[in-house]
Amino acid sequence: MIQNLKTMDRTMLVLLIGVLLTHLGTYMVIPILPIMFSETIGLSLGTVGMLLATYSISFQFGSMFGGFLADRIGRRIVIGGGALIGAVGFAGLGIFTIFIPVLLTIAIAGFGNGLNAPSTKAAIAAIASKVNQTTAFSFRGIAANIGTAIAGLIVFFLVAGSPTIIFWIAGFIYIGVALKSWFLLPKECGDASCPEIPKGAYKEVFKNKPFVVFGLISILIWALYAQLALALPIRATDVLAEPSNVALIWTINSGMVILLQNLITKQVISRIHPFVALSIGLIFIGGGVGTLFWASSFLGLIVSGAIFVLGEMLILPTIDSTISQLSKAGLIGLFFGLANVLSGLGEATGNLIGGRLLELGTELSYLPWLIYAISGVAIGLIVLVLIKWKPMQQSLKQAAQQKNKPEKAPRVNPGPSNNLSHPFNSWEEEVFFRKKQRT
């Protein structure tokens, strides 16, 4: 790993530092936002959900607008400008305690982050295509989780009473990201040409029925995924003497991802059908949020977070790799852009519904947690049904047989279509933690 870092392009290192810093700034704020909104400002849980949904929606508008601008004026300006706008939004959260100004500042923060994040990912992809994309995105994931882990520690040790200082620190971190981007990143798109989306590209996307169906189901997946960021801090206000200490759980979760993601990818995700991995992950995610009902101590919150993050490690890489397999050649950026919009729509919907559910929980305390657990199982079953849908199966099989398929992506083995466990021409299905014999 250290050797890879030493030989890495300087621009790539600058981008990875930016990923670390933006996650540091964002996750100093996100874990305590529900606590601030409900405890400090006194908003209802339904309104808290609406504010978090506003962040998700404005993030997606920023993503769409940023993608359009990045291809025309260059990624450096978009990444730096987005970071500066995000700094204004996060700093504003430390100033205002009235609903309308808070709504505006959280929308500004989301829009700025939306400009910054996808443009950074696109820049990493453009540079990594010259060397090793898998290694580059592995480092991106590590950098993101290191930033998230440090953020939890900072909140744990610095926040006592008012969290205002955290918002100001996050704002200054984003200003640092903006300055770093403007002075250290290359102009326009660097050595790579800034590609333009060809005419009729969107029509090609919507003609791809497997992608459209998977995209619609991903809205449900992201709606469930969004529940932890809302439900865990709210539950912490009932369980912990100092609710802001809940940020430390994000540190623990990120540590789990850093330590276990590679193992889970190699020994589980790469050996089973991607939709089976998604289904198992959804059950863990629903279970992680649902078990918060029994979490009556900091240790209980950690256990629920750990169950959730096991599901997260299964679904996040699988969703990305499945989208890459369903994408048309030459339009993968567009497919990922539309997938981002759907994920934002799912998170926004999840925050709105989650806020209302938690309000119901004040009368029927078990109801929201039961719904979370049942939803994980139900969405998991819907995903499993897609395995039997022939257009989806055929599309994934074609991707599995391509020579330029992603190096570490989950794949559908091109075995018999009717009975995948039955040997055919010496083909056999992978088994957990057993190296498959070459035939």
Q: How far apart are CA 392 and CA 110, in angstroms?
A: 34
Let me know: does 326 contact 214? Beta carbons within 8 Å. Answer: yes
Written as tens digits, the pLDDT of the chain (439 aa) is 555 555 667 888 888 899 999 999 998 888 888 888 887 778 888 888 899 899 988 988 887 777 667 666 777 888 899 999 999 999 998 888 888 999 999 999 999 998 887 778 777 766 765 445 545 666 777 888 899 999 988 888 776 555 678 899 999 999 999 999 888 887 755 555 555 556 666 677 788 889 899 999 999 999 999 999 889 998 988 888 887 788 889 899 989 988 888 888 888 888 888 899 999 999 999 999 999 999 989 999 999 999 999 999 999 888 877 887 787 655 666 677 678 788 888 999 999 999 888 887 655 578 889 999 999 999 999 999 999 898 888 888 776 666 554 444 444 433 333 333 322 223 333 344 444 444 4
Clarify whether residues 215 and 352 are in a common domain.
yes
Residue type, 290: G
Q: How far apart are CA 225 and CA 241, in angstroms?
A: 26
- Asked if the structure places residue 437 within a domain, the reply is no
Clarify whether residues 186 and 207 are in a common domain.
no
Domain boundary among 139, 163, 191: 191
DSSP tag of 269: G
Clarify whether residues 253 and 293 are in a common domain.
yes
Clarify whether residues 166 and 221 are in a common domain.
no
Clarify whether residues 59 and 171 are in a common domain.
yes
Locate all alpha helices (DSSP H) within 269-331, ordered by sequence: 274-290, 298-326
- Asked if the structure places residue 426 within a domain, the reply is no
Clarify whether residues 272 and 311 are in a common domain.
yes
- Among candidates 212, 223, 220, 225, which has minimal Cα distance to 339? 212
Let me know: does 324 contact 406? Beta carbons within 8 Å. Answer: yes
Instruction: Report the predicted TM-score, pTM, of the whole model to 2 decimal places.
Output: 0.78
Q: How far apart are CA 374 and CA 368, in angstroms?
A: 10
- Asked if the structure places residue 415 within a domain, the reply is no
- Asked if the structure places residue 14 within a domain, the reply is yes
- Asked if the structure places residue 358 within a domain, the reply is yes
Let me know: does 121 contact 198? Beta carbons within 8 Å. Answer: no
Q: What pLDDT, on the 0 to 100 scale, is given for residue 200?
A: 65
Clarify whether residues 20 and 137 are in a common domain.
yes
- 142-176 burial, b at 16+ Cβ within 10 Å, e below that, comes to bbbbbbbbbbbebbbeebeeebeebbebbbebbbb
Domain count of the fold of the chain? 2
- Asked if the structure places residue 427 within a domain, the reply is no
Let me know: does 347 contact 223? Beta carbons within 8 Å. Answer: yes
Clarify whether residues 153 and 247 are in a common domain.
no
Radius of gyration of the chain (CA): 21
Q: Taking each helix axis as running N to C, give the angle between helix 274-290 and helix 209-225, from 0 to 180 degrees, rounded to the nearest 10.
A: 20
Locate all alpha helices (DSSP H) within 185-246, ordered by sequence: 201-207, 209-225, 227-239
Clarify whether residues 290 and 243 are in a common domain.
yes
- Asked if the structure places residue 159 within a domain, the reply is yes
Structural domain of 126: 9-191
Clarify whether residues 170 and 220 are in a common domain.
no
- Among candidates 141, 174, 302, 165, which has minimal Cα distance to 235? 302
Clarify whether residues 116 and 264 are in a common domain.
no
The CATH number of whichever domain residue 173 belongs to comes to 1.20.1250.20
Clarify whether residues 153 and 238 are in a common domain.
no
- Asked if the structure places residue 424 within a domain, the reply is no
